[in-house]
Structure 1
Amino acid sequence: MVMVAGSTTEDPSVVGDGSRIVICGVTYAPNLGDGVIAECMAHALKVISPSSSIMHVDLAAREGYGQVSVKGKRGLLFVMRAAPSFVRRLVVDAGLSVFLARKALPKWRALFRSGDIVIIGGGHLLSDYNLNFPKKIELVTRLAHEVGARMGFHAVGVSANWSRRGTKLFAAALARCSFVATRDAKSLERLEQSLPGIDIPKSTALDPGYLAKSCYSSVEASTSGVGLNVSDPDELAQYAGNASIRDKYDALWIALVKAYADAGYKVNLFTNGAEEDESYLAHLADLASKEGVSGFSVITRSITPSDLVAVIKGLDLLVGHRLHAQIVAFAHDVPSVALGWDDKLESQMALMGRGEFVVPFGKPDADTVLEYGRKALAGQVDGSKSRALASQAQDDLLTSVRSIISSSPIAARV
């Protein structure tokens, strides 16, 4: 019997038919939560399909960690936020068309081959922010479909923000696939509402990030104490459809640094790696210096998922917005407090049995967060729960791979 630690899946090699497995997602995104997903998925696939080779296709055509797909993203985001919605759509659509034609199309066309098993996921990919994912996913599925690859979606998040054009593009992509598994019931409900006539098997599957403890077992912790996982509040507000609350979060983070430092904790400020988050972290550090706040360290930007895991796994407490920082903490039995901003974070925290540690979005007063933190530090993460979710995440991936392998390449329907 071969298994990932904690799994009850026997004889996983039955899915190994020697085919190449291609994971399509945003593997090399600066926000390293996406890299955690991809690496955990690859880690499990090496066990459940040992005869298959595994490769990654990044939907921004990056080829490794630390690569920049959009130069000056911070400034571009600032300009785009101020622009009318129709202007944003026109600008992004034009830029995407050039990117896909000049960079992605030649690279991806030469990549896929007959017999490939293409897994699109995980992460929040079925989301339509100015047609970004709809156009990329439609293209990558079209090219894979043309050569007879077998395809499916695994553990993908689904947003309710699909435009009319985005819906058509996603419908075309899904019509080429034999299976789709969303990462939670809410995402499945949204998928069925957006595409009520979709005629392929559907299910839910746990986020591969729950396998982080097994995947990163050789990674040594690089710090300890309290980790404040900082995110750019303007970007969070934009995605959540709320007005900017930067001043509130400035005050919150500074107050948390003071409180935990005064309580004797080593305080670490860090991000998941995104450029806009790093810019906000630099702003916070400068603000703290001007206000005479001390007793904290700014962690050097993580470049790889292993770097991020090393920061998180040795902490006494994690506080932050980012979902996969929370999942990595949970997998390593680190207590955490989630600063809520969208329903995917809330649903995953509930799944972990930690829904009581989610602070509502837009209400980031320090006293409230500190009280949540006090309760988190007084308790402990349920290790049996984290092991059970890791086992289920592997079994769900096995189900998805089996479903894709058992299908024949789908004849063109779009």
Structure 2
Amino acid sequence: MKVLVVGAGKSPNVGDQLIEKVLGWTLQNKLDIDTVSYFDLEQGKYNIDYKQPEVDVDDIKENVEQQKKYYLPRFIKTFLSIKWSDEELINSVKNNDLIIIGGGHLLIDNYSCFLLNIIRVARMAQKHNKKVVLWSVGVGSKHTYIWKVIARMFIKNIPVFTRDSKSLIRAKKLGLNTQNYILDPAFFVNDMVAPKVNKETLGLFIMDPYEMVRHSENLYKREDIAAWWLKLINILSDQYDKITIYNNGSLQDVKFIHKYLVPKIDDEKVLVHPRVLSADELIDSVNKNNLILAQRLHAVIPALALNKKVYALEWDEKLTNILADLNLQEFLLSYQMEPSQIANKLISSKPHINILDEQKLNYLQNLKSAIIENDK
């Protein structure tokens, strides 16, 4: 069987590439799928070992503060910009037996951008009599009437597996063909890469606060969050021989780190890792540390999978919901906490107990069932 994995794998945030790479590895090594190829919803076919182009930090344009954007003009612009039928998509669909769309936070209403591109792939699959499944997807909490109507018209019959229980409930309310909720694919990274046993090293995976403003109800300012991180780093530098600041590849995260933090850090113990350009570099960044504090979901998930001591900074409900499903809420911290409180948590942290065996077995059973059902 040949499988086409479709998602946002060419996003500068290489967490999306990580999702698809681990999913592809799992398909081939756990379920003996013959070949897996990859297709980005917006940018087309790509190699799963793709590296992002390097960008000079000075050339990164900082996102402005939140502005009011009107839905319909953005929707129309997106609709008109989509290549509804192109040779690359046609060949990718025709040359595969099953189309797996996911994982990632794809069922959100980003002016219907993801949805319209999912429909583009699904319609092409239907035209060529290929089966489609939405796999380990996140579902947003708010959708416009336009999104709901279009979704029910074009994707209501596609089997939907979500990556958390809240997303499953939301998908049901949207009238979609819900099946089950399962793990995020990235939880299998420790099957693909052996965990490294490290000395007590600390990695801080830092995100641009504006991302919180764009994707959640938080209204933090960059200057305030920068001051919070600088205070925390100052406290921790007395406890650790080395602290490394990492990123998930997002250009805005890198810009924030270099504009708001780097100029005010004068401590040879504190290192700033270059921008990660691939999923492999992200995995390595996580794996080389023993203790991790992270905000982006796909720094937290591989850290858990690789059995690191890890704490997560709350910002978006998708992170909160996934940790809640695993009963790991106690490892969720907040910017509302004083840096001294965070430091105490990190210093006294203990390794997590591996609790994923049952969930991983359930994941594989559901994935196998989806493949068998679509192979009929």
Compute the TM-score of the two structures, normalised by the length of structure 1.
0.81
Answer yes or no: is the 8 Å Cα contact 1:142–1:176 preserved in 2.
Answer: no
Distance in 1 between residues matched to 2:199 and 2:6, nearest whole Å: 32
1:391 to 335, 341, 361: 361
Verify: 1:212 aligned to 2:212, yes or no.
no
Does the residue aligned with 2:180 lie in a helix, a strand or coil?
strand
Answer yes or no: is the 8 Å Cα contact 1:30–1:66 preserved in 2.
Answer: no
Answer yes or no: is the 8 Å Cα contact 2:182–2:359 preserved in 1.
Answer: no
Please tell me the residue identity of whatever aligns with 2:173.
Q
Please tell me the residue identity of whatever aligns with 1:216.
V
Question: 1:115–1:280: structure 2 CA closer, same or farther, 3 Å change rule?
Answer: closer
Distance in 1 between residues matched to 2:219 and 2:356, nearest whole Å: 35
Verify: 1:150 aligned to 2:131, yes or no.
yes
Deviations 1:370-406 (A, max 9, x none): 1322342xx21113x1444443333332233233324
Distance in 1 between residues matched to 2:112 and 2:104, nearest whole Å: 16
Question: 1:114–1:33: structure 2 CA closer, same or farther, 3 Å change rule?
Answer: closer
Answer yes or no: is the 8 Å Cα contact 1:211–1:394 preserved in 2.
Answer: no
CA RMSD of aligned residues (A): 2.8
Verify: 1:304 aligned to 2:278, yes or no.
yes
Does the residue aligned with 1:315 lie in a helix, a strand or coil?
coil
Question: 1:201–1:242: structure 2 CA closer, same or farther, 3 Å change rule?
Answer: closer
Distance in 2 between residues matched to 1:114 and 1:170, nearest whole Å: 26
Name the structure 2 match of 1:327.
301
Does the residue aligned with 1:212 lie in a helix, a strand or coil?
helix
Question: 1:202–1:132: structure 2 CA closer, same or farther, 3 Å change rule?
Answer: same
Does the residue aligned with 1:112 lie in a helix, a strand or coil?
helix
Name the structure 1 match of 2:68.
84
1:193 to 173, 185, 204: 173
Distance in 1 between residues matched to 2:75 and 2:246, nearest whole Å: 30
Q: How does 1:286-305 map to 2 (within 5 A)?
A: 286-289=262-265, 292-305=266-279
Verify: 1:373 aligned to 2:357, yes or no.
no
Deviations 1:311-360 (A, max 9, x none): 11121211121111111011111011110012221122233442101113
Shift of 1:83: 3.3
Does the residue aligned with 1:111 lie in a helix, a strand or coil?
helix
Distance in 1 between residues matched to 2:15 and 2:315, nearest whole Å: 16
Question: 1:375–1:352: structure 2 CA closer, same or farther, 3 Å change rule?
Answer: farther
User: Share of identical aligned residues, percent?
Assistant: 21
Name the structure 1 match of 2:11.
29
Answer yes or no: is the 8 Å Cα contact 1:248–1:364 preserved in 2.
Answer: no
Please tell me the residue identity of whatever aligns with 2:352.
V
Shift of 1:118: 0.6
Please tell me the residue identity of whatever aligns with 2:5.
I
Name the structure 2 match of 1:278.
254
Distance in 2 between residues matched to 1:222 and 1:311, nearest whole Å: 12
Distance in 2 between residues matched to 1:166 and 1:77, nearest whole Å: 26
Q: How does 1:221-232 map to 2 (within 5 A)?
A: 225-232=201-208
Name the structure 1 match of 2:333.
359
Distance in 2 between residues matched to 1:364 and 1:100, nearest whole Å: 44
Distance in 2 between residues matched to 1:286 and 1:23, nearest whole Å: 38
Shift of 1:132: 1.6
Where does structure 1 lack aligned partners over 5 or more consecutive residues? Answer: 1-18, 407-414
Answer yes or no: is the 8 Å Cα contact 2:204–2:243 preserved in 1.
Answer: yes
Name the structure 2 match of 1:6.
none
Distance in 1 between residues matched to 2:337 and 2:42, nearest whole Å: 33
Name the structure 1 match of 2:372.
402
Does the residue aligned with 1:403 lie in a helix, a strand or coil?
helix
2:164 to 173, 184, 190: 184
Q: Which moves more between the two structures, 239-248 or 390-399?
A: 390-399
Question: 1:358–1:170: structure 2 CA closer, same or farther, 3 Å change rule?
Answer: same
Name the structure 2 match of 1:41.
23
Answer yes or no: is the 8 Å Cα contact 2:136–2:181 preserved in 1.
Answer: yes
Question: 1:89–1:243: structure 2 CA closer, same or farther, 3 Å change rule?
Answer: farther
2:311 to 323, 327, 337: 337
Distance in 1 between residues matched to 2:199 and 2:41, nearest whole Å: 32
Distance in 2 between residues matched to 1:325 and 1:90, nearest whole Å: 35
2:102 to 107, 118, 121: 121
2:180 to 203, 214, 221: 203
Shift of 1:89: 5.3
Answer yes or no: is the 8 Å Cα contact 2:218–2:315 preserved in 1.
Answer: no
Deviations 1:249-303 (A, max 9, x none): 10121122212221133100010101111111112343324xx444211111111
Shift of 1:232: 0.6
Does the residue aligned with 1:175 lie in a helix, a strand or coil?
coil
Answer yes or no: is the 8 Å Cα contact 2:209–2:220 preserved in 1.
Answer: yes
Answer yes or no: is the 8 Å Cα contact 2:171–2:178 preserved in 1.
Answer: no
Please tell me the residue identity of whatever aligns with 1:139.
R
Question: 1:184–1:82: structure 2 CA closer, same or farther, 3 Å change rule?
Answer: closer
Distance in 1 between residues matched to 2:72 and 2:200, nearest whole Å: 43
Question: 1:173–1:212: structure 2 CA closer, same or farther, 3 Å change rule?
Answer: farther
Name the structure 2 match of 1:411.
none
Question: 1:153–1:130: structure 2 CA closer, same or farther, 3 Å change rule?
Answer: same
Question: 1:51–1:270: structure 2 CA closer, same or farther, 3 Å change rule?
Answer: closer
Does the residue aligned with 2:92 lie in a helix, a strand or coil?
coil
Distance in 2 between residues matched to 1:266 and 1:115, nearest whole Å: 48
Verify: 1:315 aligned to 2:289, yes or no.
yes
